[in-house]
Amino acid sequence: MPDGKFITQVCVVVPNAREASSHWAKVLGIPMVEPVQIFAPDTTLVHYTNGQAAYYSDLFVALYDLGNLVIELMQPGPTPSPWRDFLDRNGPGVFHFCVQTTNRKQFQDRLREIGIGLPYHIGYFPQGSYSYIDSREQLGLELSINNQTDMTPILAALAKGSANPLDELN
């Protein structure tokens, strides 16, 4: 299978994750997933939006793992974030499709071939990273690119100031 061929997640931004989760549970015929607050201040996840360090702690998410696909219901808080921007601009809706890659650089090179630039948002954690790419013009929606690989060296370099976000993609 070619890298990035599978869509692993669909993120839907909603104003009320509990209400949306209740509706999805009924539609899917399964128990409701309670939304949980994510990105607590003590997390090992480091975010950058538009090249600037960013901290998010007012998000709620409910995840429905359907085996071959995860439906992520994301409720942004009132503070600025990619999810809040989307909700304010578009109302509730599909925020992104997520693809898994084993080689972020190679996958990014493929995206460049169709005119898609670097991610505007990235989150690093010890076991990997995720990023958001504005691919609406080319693909009709944003992509989230997930990569499960050791990011401890990058996290250490970012903390020391000897690296910048997305250096690994240039």
Question: Quick check: 134 pLDDT over 70?
Answer: yes
Average pLDDT along the chain: 91
**Mean pLDDT of the region 45-53:** 87
Residue 33: domain span: 7-165
How many domains in the chain? 1
pLDDT value for 137 = 95
Domain contains 2: no
Domain contains 170: no
**Mean pLDDT of the region 17-25:** 98
Dist CA 67 CA 77 (whole Å): 29
Domain contains 34: yes
Q: What is the CATH number of the domain that holds 76?
A: 3.10.180.10
Domain contains 154: yes
pLDDT digit string, tens, across residues 56-101: 878 999 999 999 999 999 999 998 899 999 999 999 999 999 999 9
Q: What is the pTM of this model?
A: 0.89
* Measured CA distances, 161 to 13, 25, 149 (Å): 33, 45, 21
Cα four-point dihedral sign 35, 36, 39, 45: negative
pLDDT value for 2 = 52
